[in-house]
Amino acid sequence: MAETIQNLMLGFSTAFSPGNFFYAIMGCLIGTMVGVLPGVGPLAGISLLLPSTFGLNPTAGLILLAGVFYGAMYGGSTTSILMRIPGEAASVMTCIDGYAMAQKGRAGPALAIAAIGSYIAGTASVIGLMFLAPPLARFALGFGPPEYFALLALGLLVLGYMTGGSMIKNLAMIILGLLFGMIGIDHMSGYFRFSYGIVALGDGIGVVPVAVGLFGIAEILATAGNPFRPDILKPKLKDLLPSRQEFRDSMFPIGRGTILGFLIGIIPGSAHIISTFMSYAVERRLSKHPEKFGKGAIEGVAGPESANNAASCGALVPMLALGVPTGPVPAVLLAALMIHGINPGPLFIKEQPTIFWGLIASMYLGNFVLLLLNLPLVGIFINFLRIPYRVLYPMILMFCVIGVYAVNTSFVDVGIMSFMGLLGYILRKFNFETAPVVLGVVLAPIIEMSLRQALAMSNGSYAIFYQRPVSAIFLVGALLMILLALKPLIRKGMDWKWREQLSKADENE
Partner 1 sequence: MTIDRLSGTVLLVLAGFIAFETRVLPLGTHKVPGPAYLPLLLASILGVLGILLIFVKAKSPPLRSLKWPEGLHAAAIVACCFFATFFIEVLGYRVTMLIVLGFLFGVVERMKIWWALGLTFALTFGSFWIFNNMLKVILPQGGLGI
395 binds partner 1 (CB under 8 A): yes
Q: Based on CB atoms, which residue is closest to partner 1, 313 or 401?
A: 401
State yes or no: residue 432 binds partner 1 (CB under 8 A).
yes
For residues 431 and 508, which CB has a smaller minimum distance to partner 1 in the complex?
Answer: 431
Q: Residues 445, 181: contact at Cβ < 8 Å? A: yes
Q: State the DSSP code for 242.
A: P
Q: Which of residues 225-264 bind partner 1 (CB under 8 A)?
A: 225-226
DSSP codes joined into one string, 145-170:
HHHHHHHHHHHHHHHHHHS-S-HHHH
Nearer to partner 1, 370 or 401 (CB): 401
Binding of partner 1 at residue 499 (CB under 8 A)? Answer: no
**SS3 state of residue 353:** helix
295 interacts with partner 1 by CB under 8 A: no
Instruction: Give the start-end residues of each E strand in 177-317.
Output: 184-185, 192-193
**CB-based burial label for 466 (10 Å; 0-12, 13-18, 19+):** middle
Beta bridge partners of 184: 193
- Return the bridge partners of 185, or none: 192
Residue with smaller CB distance to partner 1, 179 or 251: 179
Of the candidate residues 6, 19, 139, 188, the single one contacting partner 1 (CB under 8 A): 188
Q: Does 153 bind partner 1 (CB under 8 A)?
A: no
Q: How far is it, in rounded angstroms, from Cα 340 to Cα 56?
A: 9
Applying CB under 8 A, which of residues 200, 422, 470, 485 lies at the interface with partner 1?
422
Long-range pairs for 284-288: beta carbons < 8 A, 24 or more residues apart: 286/256
Kindly tell me which of 39 and 296 has the beta carbon lying closer to partner 1: 39
217 touches partner 1 by CB under 8 A: yes
Number of H-type helices and E-type strands within the chain = 23, 2
Contact 74, 30 (CB under 8 A): no
Answer yes or no whether residue 386 interacts with partner 1 by CB under 8 A.
Answer: no
Residue 455 lies near partner 1 (rule: CB under 8 A): yes
Contact 74, 118 (CB under 8 A): yes
Q: How many residues bind to partner 1 according to rule CB under 8 A?
A: 63
Assess 409 for contact with partner 1 (CB under 8 A).
yes
Q: Which helix (H) or strand (E) holds 396?
A: helix 389-408
Q: Among residues 141, 198, 398, 494, which is the contact residue for partner 1, using CB under 8 A?
A: 398
Q: How far is the CB of 434 from partner 1 (least distance, A)?
A: 14
Site for partner 1 in 40-99 (CB under 8 A): 51-52, 54-55
Among 293, 364, 384, 425, the residue binding partner 1 under the rule CB under 8 A is: 425
* Residue 415 binds partner 1 (CB under 8 A): yes
| C-alpha–C-alpha distance, residues 129 and 113, integer Å | 23
Q: Is residue 210 part of the contact set for partner 1 (CB under 8 A)?
A: no
Euclidean distance between the first and final Cα of the chain, in Å?
75
DSSP character at residue 196:
T
Is residue 482 near partner 1 by the rule CB under 8 A? no
What single DSSP character describes residue 184?
E
Q: Which is nearer to partner 1, 126 or 444 (CB)?
A: 444
Q: Is 502 in the site for partner 1 (CB under 8 A)?
A: no
- The nearest distance, CB 149 to partner 1, in angstroms, is 11
Looking at 323-388, list the stretches that DSSP marks H as alpha helix, in order from N- to C-terminal side.
328-339, 348-351, 353-374, 378-383
Footprint of partner 1 on 161-180 (CB under 8 A): 166, 168-169, 171-172, 175-176, 178-179
Contact (Cβ atoms closer than 8 angstroms) between residue 237 and residue 375: yes
The answer to whether 258 and 125 have CB atoms below 8 angstroms apart is yes
> Of 241 and 398, which has the nearer Cβ to partner 1?
398
Interface with partner 1, residue 397, by CB under 8 A: yes
CA–CA separation, 391 vs 380, rounded Å? 19
Tell me how far, at minimum, the Cβ of 236 lies from partner 1, in Å: 33
Judged by CB under 8 A, does residue 195 bind partner 1? no
- Residues, the chain: 509
Q: Which is nearer to partner 1, 131 or 462 (CB)?
A: 462
**Among residues 258, 341, 332, 353, which one has the least CA distance to residue 41?**
332
Q: Does 105 bind partner 1 (CB under 8 A)?
A: no
> Judged by CB, which is closer to partner 1: 53, or 276?
53
* Interaction of residue 393 with partner 1, rule CB under 8 A: yes
Binding site for partner 1 (CB under 8 A): 51-52, 54-55, 166, 168-169, 171-172, 175-176, 178-179, 182, 186, 188-189, 191, 193-194, 217, 220-226, 390-391, 393-395, 397-399, 401-402, 405-406, 409, 411, 414-415, 417-418, 421-422, 425, 429-432, 448, 451-452, 455-456, 459-462, 489
